[in-house]
Structure formats: C-alpha cells, structure tokens
Amino acid sequence: MSAIPDLPILVGKGRDESHPVSHSQVTMTQLMAPQDTNLMGNVFGGVILAAVDRIAYVCATRHSGRPCVTASFDQVDFRSAIQIGEVVTVQASVNTVGRTSMEIGVRVTAEPVTGGDSRHTNSCYVTMVALDPDGRPCAVPKLEVQTEDEYRRYRDAEERRAARLELAKRRQGRRGKKAGG
Ligand SMILES: CC(C)(COP(=O)(O)OP(=O)(O)OC[C@H]1O[C@@H](n2cnc3c(N)ncnc32)[C@H](O)[C@@H]1OP(=O)(O)O)[C@@H](O)C(=O)NCCC(=O)NCCS
C-alpha cells in the first residue's frame, strides 16, 4: 500500500473553492414495505438502486451546489437478500472529484425494524456530473480529503476512474473501427 501523505489534501480540477467530505455526507433510512418486494417478500434490486441513485444525487448536489445527473453506475453485487419489514440505511459520501464529475460511494445496510444486527448488503459507486443552467457539464468545487479513511476511499476511487476512462477509450476505438469498416 502506498504511503499516506500529510493530510488534508485538496483534490479535483474544478472550481477554486473547496468543501470537506463531511459537507455533503448523507444518510437516509427507509422501511421495506409490500410494494418494494416480490411475492416471496424479497426486496427488488431496483428499489435499492433507486435509493442509491437518489442519495447519490443529494450528495453530489450538496457538494457541487448545482443540479446533477447520473453518468454511470459501477457493477453492483447484492451480497444478501433484504426482506419486507427490514429497515434499509443508505449512506453516501463524495470519494473523489474531477473537473465536472464526482464519484459518490454509497453503502447499503439492512436490519429488522424491531432492531438487531445490521448487515452490509452492498456498496455502489455512482458517477454524477454537475450541470450549468444550459444543461452542460460545469466545474465543481475541489474536495478536502482530511482523514486516512477518506484518503483510502479517494485513492481507490482514482483507480476506478482511470479504469473507467480506459474502458471508455477502448470502446470508442472499437466503434471507430466498425464505423470506418
Ligand atoms: C453525463 C453527461 C452530462 C456527460 O456529458 P458529456 O458531453 O459526455 O460531457 P463530457 O465529455 O464533458 O464529460 C463530463 C464529465 O463526465 C464524465 N463522464 C462522461 N461520461 C461518463 C461515464 N459514462 N462514466 C463516468 N464518467 C463519465 C467525464 O469523464 C467528465 O468528467 P470530468 O469533467 O470530471 O473529467 C451526458 O452524457 C448526459 O447528460 N447523460 C445523460 C445523463 C442522465 O440523464 N442520467 C439519468 C439517466 S435516466
């Protein structure tokens, strides 16, 4: 593992102003009811994805101060089923920022409404892009990475960002070849 630099550090290529990670951290809870589940009482994956998208929007909009759109979702693995009558908690924070985009990390946990052990059911990484009043991507404030945990999330997010850009480049190259014959 690479050494941790002196913290805090400022990351991003957007506006000169900055916000700490804590400025935009959000937590939401929701009781899973019959309309959220199939006939077996298992919660639909799409219900969880909608909650993830919503909280990522709130987190990104708080950081950027601009309305945002979802550019992409990374792969999502559901580690265990969530049942009707469980309380789902989603927690979001900004992991890293580029010029106009932000990677939001979302952690999902579930526990019985009556209380008891909480279990981690999945984590997702959502890329949100801030928009100007004409609907074009616009620069976002830099991110102040203050703690060792925030630095670890930032470093992992930068690795994912590099992998995403590389994949997008390769896909574009393949499409270009096809179009060119
Ligand atoms: C996301 C969107 C605004 C990007 O527009 P664009 O013209 O490609 O803009 P750019 O090429 O300038 O990219 C803007 C930023 O988005 C990032 N980005 C674009 N497509 C991306 C993707 N598929 N995954 C991750 N990041 C992406 C770029 O890396 C760039 O980040 P940076 O400024 O931090 O370096 C545009 O594709 C869009 O509006 N998509 C629809 C979004 C939407 O409606 N979502 C809800 C679905 S119902």
**Local structure of 22: helix, strand or coil:** helix
Query: Residue 169 pLDDT > 80, yes or no?
Result: yes
Read off the pLDDT of residues 98-125 as tens digits, 9 standing for 90 and up: 999 999 999 999 999 999 999 999 999 9
**Which protein residue's CA is at the shortest distance from atom 5 of ligand 1?**
137
pLDDT score recorded for residue 75: 87
CA distance 52 to 175: 31
Query: In 3-state terms, what secondary structure has residue 118?
Result: coil
Q: Residue range 84-105: average pLDDT?
A: 98
| pLDDT score, position 99 | 98
Give yes or no for residue 91 having a pLDDT over 80. yes
Task: Report residue 63 as tokens.
Answer: 């950081």
**% the chain with pLDDT above 70:** 98
Ligand 1 mean position, distance from CA 88 (Å): 29
Q: What is the pLDDT of residue 115?
A: 92
Please report the atom of ligand 1 found closest to the CA of residue 72: 24
- Domains of the chain by residue range: 9-180
User: Cβ–Cβ contacts within 10 Å for residue 59, how many?
Assistant: 26
Residue 178: pLDDT band with limits 50, 70, 90: confident
Q: What is 9-180's CATH topology?
A: Thiol Ester Dehydrase; Chain A (3.10.129)
Higher local confidence (pLDDT), 43 or 176? 43
CB-defined site of ligand 1, < 6 Å: 69-72, 98-101, 127, 129, 137, 164
Ligand 1 center from residue 150 Cα (angstroms): 24
DSSP string of 27-95, one letter each residue: EEEEE--GGGB-TTSBBPHHHHHHHHHHHHHHHHHHHHSS-EEEEEE------S--BTTEEEEEEEEEE
pLDDT at 72: 95
